Structure 1
């Protein structure tokens, strides 16, 4: 049986290896980038390339061609950290919505930044109250997509992204008075991000909200100290006494619904 055609909006750090993985599984892939110089790289990987920036007036025909005949659309386009991020991100996604047909399935690569700190476990059922503008922007787009087609939409909320060239030792190296050293962290490896999307496709799991996060949640101080030492960098210095704020992202639903076993359940394996 022929595999589906999939359009991946955003072939960057996650989208490009995702596209290559899906091609290896027999899928036909259309992929987008905002960078003209990436067109050849996409084509050489077997991806049908499209170069455009969301929200530009002259893109209507490009949107139609990019999305046409694809059974699944993966929206993997995170908001940029810019002023008025909440409105701009919605307008960018809103510009392509009229070109998504009712029968097309959508995976929106979201973020666990939509969750507030609870000093406890967090599941997909919580009433979201994001604390930062980036989280507010992502939640607003989740709701925008739900209003377009809730039944055909699956939202994948990913924790902090690590793996390959995202070396966590660089994140906090040399910093002083770093907060929340005794708080548990929430991260997910690139391979598990791809594995979860593959599992959603395999199980035809639509109309869902799913968290993606490693099983274990080591303390921030331990993880980033080890990560810096492994990268031969100066470890960060954490505050000695403070009130910590945290959340622990539960991945129970992802494992049960998708029958998924995380490749990297313990982030400490990556930094020891």
Structure 2
């Protein structure tokens, strides 16, 4: 293992969140390496002053034009979600096992793993980072297993950030439920976070060296599905959804106090309903 190059960050997965994050970190003065799965996307990274790499990880291994070069950095941000498949838990762990082996051969010292609040089941109340309940969804089980795999590796330090539902820019919630009838669970509170706050929090973790921890990230306010998606459709000029009467809603409320306190972070968009009126 060679000495870690300082001020260099590799981002595995430059998609909806990874690309604007990479662009932001370049503006912050970091040297950024970014990965995409297809060669035709590499030009976009080059234009943004991001060093481009092609990386594809399957259960069989890593396919890359230069995985060693991509991992020649101090910090690795892992940003690709579990695949939608029946064997997602085993498959995602197999993918990450190959990646961990590659990291162990690299100078990477710190890993920032982008996880999801799907690791929490519906408990009809607040959930915190120390929760140990078993996820109900396959994707949540896969993420929780990978979190453990990374955090128990003594070769590098890992921080896990569990984002709520991602919104902002081209992810306009007005389209999600527009025109749908008798939607279930209308009285359940929602958990979302804007792309800009995701980037602000990830940058804060790096700047403030908040390594070796687990954080939730979600807006301060939690409107109901009925309130939020009805207003979203109305503002977008789309047909309003209707909601079925639900005597026993199932939900969770993501508590993000820990990340706000640790980073002294104030959300740019703390209220999802107010955000709807900005069009951002």
- The TM-score with structure 2 as length reference comes to 0.92
User: Partners of 1:186 and 1:103 in 2: how far apart?
Assistant: 32
**Which residue among 164, 168, 175 is the counterpart of 1:170?**
175
Kept in 1, the 8 Å contact 2:53–2:70? The answer is: yes
**Residue 59 of structure 1: aligned partner:** 63
Aligned length: 270
Conservation of the 8 A alpha-carbon contact between 2:12 and 2:36:
yes
Task: Check the 8 A contact 2:186/2:225 in 1, yes or no.
Answer: yes
Q: Secondary structure at the match of 1:19?
A: helix
* Structure 2 counterpart of 1:11: 14
Q: Which residue of 2 aligns with 1:81?
A: 84
Cα deviation digits, residues 4-43 of structure 1 (max 9, x gap)? 1000000000000000000000000000011222110011
Cα distance between partner residues in 1 of 2:162 and 2:147: 10
Within 5 Å, which residues of 2 pair with 1:34-113? 34-55=37-58, 57=61, 59=63, 62-68=66-72, 70-101=73-104, 104-113=109-118
Q: Which moved more, 1:173-182 or 1:53-62?
A: 53-62
Please say if 1:134 is aligned against 2:139: yes
**Deviation digits for residues 151-200 of structure 1 (CA, Å, limit 9, x no counterpart):** 71000000000000000111111111111111110000000000110010
Q: Given the superposition, is the C-alpha separation of residues 127 and 151 from structure 1 closer, same or farther in structure 2, using an over 3 Å criterion?
A: farther
Q: Deviations over 1:81-109 (max 9, x none)?
A: 12211111111111111121476100000
Distance 1:57 1:86, change over 3 A: closer
Q: 1:57 to 1:108 in 2, by over 3 A?
A: closer
Instruction: Tell me if 1:182 matches 2:195.
Output: no
In structure 1, the gaps of 5 or more residues are: none
The Cα of 1:57 is off from its aligned counterpart by: 4.4
Cα distance in 2 between the residues matched to 1:180 and 1:58? 41
How many angstroms does 1:251 deviate by? Answer: 0.7
Further displaced range: 156-165 or 73-82:
73-82
Q: 1:15 to 1:60 in 2, by over 3 A?
A: closer
**Which range moved further: 25-34 or 171-180?**
171-180
SS in 2 for 1:182: coil
Q: Is 1:230 aligned to residue 235 of structure 2? A: yes
Any residues of structure 2 matched to 1:217-256 within 5 Å, and which?
A: 217-256=222-261
| Residue in 2 that maps onto 1:120 | 125
Q: 1:124-157: CA deviations, max 9, x gaps? A: 0111311111111111111111222487100000
TM-score (norm 1): 0.95
